[in-house]
């Protein structure tokens, strides 16, 4: 429990600064006159390096331990924030892209380490507890990411960009120091050091779930990363604080639903998710997204349609994401958990990269309705892939 608390607190601190940094970057560079596509380009390396980090970070964690990869992630985020304290004249697209690349590496090292560690803390025959702990970690993280979005909008409004970055840097430095002092340094080291050729997963269940995850997160980010904040500020006339507040409410609600997903799906009576659960909730998400798209196209109040529709979308998406997060930890083999989880989150990062690029391009050329339509198509792909996931008792013994 002590190590779970240390890992969770570290993950919380990192996530708060990461969410604030994302909102600061989107809104600040929009205010400077950057186009939606240019803003999307700022995050290209953030997502691209996340793909590489998850693939090779899992291998590094298996050989060197999860504590080292988690701590390295915190240090890289500090460096990323420090780079943005430079004179505003230096904040060119290429410079910010490099800073975001470091932040992307940091984020995925931190997430992979935190998620993998839970597999090692919980006994193998306690799948219900594993499900609850994964849901709690994931949900609380996302709630704090939402708080970070709100914090980023408020800090930009009242402190300006540089002072906001300085405040985030100081807070994360404290979290980093405490993590270094309290974490178990030997956590996650594999007994049998994996060979580099074992870096890719050979598990059909892990591979299929990873493909479904790629499409699922592409579906979210195709409207969420660039299109939504720019749409609310440019076309709806919202202030930076209003945009940050709305996105914060969205993600806090998203995280709260994830925390309670075990109750929603019945784990309190001993039931844990399987492939059928992923397929069912994928279909519910597809229907929700279709309703949002139709309401935008045919209703006369696009602002209300978007706000209400995406709040509902967020709740259903949260259940889908939480089920996926449990399944990958359940599918992963204990002695190569960081490798399997890293491979899975590599696909997650690839989905975010795809969604980020599409968010800027599609919104700039075709508008918000097109972003929602592409989201619907990607959810359909994810749900179709999920049909082949293991069901019943085999769902937690597929690694």
DSSP string spanning 154-195? Answer: HHHHHT-HHHHHHHHHHHHHHHHHHHHHHS-TTTT--SSPPP
Residue 376 banded pLDDT, cuts 50, 70, 90: very high
Most confident of 48-57, 157-166, 277-286, 327-336: 277-286
pLDDT surpasses 70 at 144: yes
Q: What is the mean pLDDT of residues 329-337?
A: 73
Q: What is the mean pLDDT of residues 67-84?
A: 87
Residue 373 banded pLDDT, cuts 50, 70, 90: very high
- Stronger pLDDT, 363 or 187, i.e. the higher one: 363
Q: What is the mean pLDDT of residues 104-122?
A: 75
Please tell me the predicted confidence (pLDDT) of residue 36.
Answer: 72
- Stronger pLDDT, 262 or 57, i.e. the higher one: 262
> Tokens for 142?
């996302």
Closest CA to 36 of 281, 279, 235, 295: 235
Please tell me the predicted confidence (pLDDT) of residue 399.
Answer: 46
- In the chain, the N- to C-terminal Cα span, in Å, equals 25
Contact status, residue 69 vs residue 337, Cβ threshold 8 Å: no
For the segment 22-41, what is each residue's pLDDT rounded down to a tens digit?
Answer: 888 888 887 778 777 777 77
Q: Report the 3 state secondary structure along 270-301.
A: CCCCCHHHHHHHHHHHHHHHHHHHHHHHHCCC
Please tell me the predicted confidence (pLDDT) of residue 1.
Answer: 63
pLDDT surpasses 70 at 252: yes
Please tell me the predicted confidence (pLDDT) of residue 132.
Answer: 77
Provide the angle, in degrees to the nearest 10, between the axes of the packed helices 2-31 and 227-234: 50
Return d(Cα 102, Cα 395) in angstroms, integer. 35
Please tell me the predicted confidence (pLDDT) of residue 138.
Answer: 73
What homologous superfamily does CATH list for 2-187+198-396? MFS general substrate transporter like domains (1.20.1250.20)
> Tokens for 361?
């391009």
């Amino acid at each position: 429990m002590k190590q779970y608390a240390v890992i969770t607190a570290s993950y919380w601190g990192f996530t708060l600064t990461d969410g604030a940094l994302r909102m600061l970057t989107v809104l600040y560079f929009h205010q400077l006159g950057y186009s939606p596509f240019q803003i999307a380009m700022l995050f290209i390396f953030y997502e691209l390096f996340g793909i590489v980090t998850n693939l090779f970070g899992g291998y590094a964690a298996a050989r060197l331990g999860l504590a080292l990869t988690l701590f390295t992630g915190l240090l890289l985020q500090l460096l990323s924030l420090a780079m943005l304290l430079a004179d505003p004249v230096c904040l060119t697209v290429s410079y910010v892209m490099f800073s975001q690349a470091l932040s992307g590496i940091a984020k995925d090292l931190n997430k992979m380490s935190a998620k993998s560690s839970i597999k090692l803390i919980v006994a193998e025959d306690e799948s219900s507890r594993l499900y609850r702990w994964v849901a709690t970690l994931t949900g609380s993280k996302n709630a704090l990411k939402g708080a970070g979005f709100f914090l980023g909008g408020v800090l930009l409004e009242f402190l300006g960009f540089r002072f906001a970055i300085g405040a985030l840097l100081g807070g994360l430095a404290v979290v980093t120091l405490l993590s270094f002092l309290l974490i178990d340094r030997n956590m996650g080291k594999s007994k049998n050091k994996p060979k580099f050729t074992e870096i890719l997963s050979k598990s059909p269940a892990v591979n299929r779930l990873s493909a479904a995850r790629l499409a699922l997160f592409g579906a979210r980010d195709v409207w969420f990363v660039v299109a939504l904040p720019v749409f609310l500020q440019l076309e709806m006339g919202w202030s930076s604080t209003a945009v940050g507040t709305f996105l914060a409410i969205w993600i806090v609600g998203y995280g709260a639903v994830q925390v309670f997903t075990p109750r929603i799906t019945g784990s309190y009576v001993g039931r844990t998710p399987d492939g059928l659960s992923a397929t069912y909730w994928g279909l519910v998400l597809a229907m929700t997204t279709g309703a949002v798209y139709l309401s935008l196209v045919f209703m006369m109040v696009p602002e209300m349609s978007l706000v209400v529709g995406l709040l509902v979308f967020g709740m259903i998406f949260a259940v889908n994401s939480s089920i996926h997060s449990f399944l990958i930890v359940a599918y992963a083999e204990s002695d190569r958990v960081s490798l399997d989880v890293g491979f899975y989150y590599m696909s997650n990062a690839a989905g975010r990269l795809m969604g980020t690029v599409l968010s800027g391009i599609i919104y700039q050329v075709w508008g918000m309705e097109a972003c929602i339509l592409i989201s619907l198509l990607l959810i359909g792909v994810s749900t179709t892939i999920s049909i082949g996931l293991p069901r019943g008792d085999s769902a937690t013994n597929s690694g």
